[in-house]
Each structure stands twice: as C-alpha cells, then as structure tokens.
Structure 1
C-alpha cells in the first residue's frame, strides 16, 4: 500500500511541475506578443503603408 501512495505522490509532484511550467510558458508568450505588437506599432508610425487592416 505504501508503494501506491508513493506513486501517487510522485504523480502529484509531476503534475505540479507541469502546471508551473505551463504557467511560465503562458507568461513568456504574453510578454513576447506584447513586444511584437510594440514593434509593429513602432514601425507603423514610420511607414504606415506597410501595415494593413489596422484603423488609422
């Protein structure tokens, strides 16, 4: 019975680790997305003819 409890404890630890990594990935993706939007907005201020589909 103690082997089963140890296995369940290991599974719970792996699940916690995976959840924290997914959270980190989501945070980094959000950060990268906002930086990419900043580059497009910055470039649009200089050369608006290259950006289409955004309201002026």
Structure 2
C-alpha cells in the first residue's frame, strides 16, 4: 500500500501532537513501575514490547 501525499503531510503533524501524550504515558508507567517494584513492564500490543526496565 502506497502512501498518499495527504498522509505524508498528516504524519509529521500527528507525531508532533502525540509526542507530549506519549511522553506523559511513559513517565507515568515508569513511576508506577518503580513504586510497584516491577522489574519489567511489557506492552502486549504490536510495536515496542518493553515499556519499562530499571536503570
């Protein structure tokens, strides 16, 4: 499936709008994982499977 010119225009805007939401979600996941003593937090949906790993 080929991208359309409209998709090429929308994708960067979509990424820019989603960035603060994604960062807040990652921060919240990290905080909850640390407070809960979790070693790892995995995402079961397709994409990035590992959401948290202690430093």
Q: Please, what TM-score do these two structures have when normalized by structure 1?
A: 0.46
User: Between Structure 1 and Structure 2, which shows a larger proportion of helix residues?
Assistant: 1
More strand per residue: 1 or 2? 2
Kindly name which structure, 1 or 2, has the bigger radius of gyration based on alpha carbons. Answer: 1
Q: Which has the higher contact order (CA 8 A, sep 6+)?
A: 2
TM-score calculated relative to the size of structure 2: 0.46
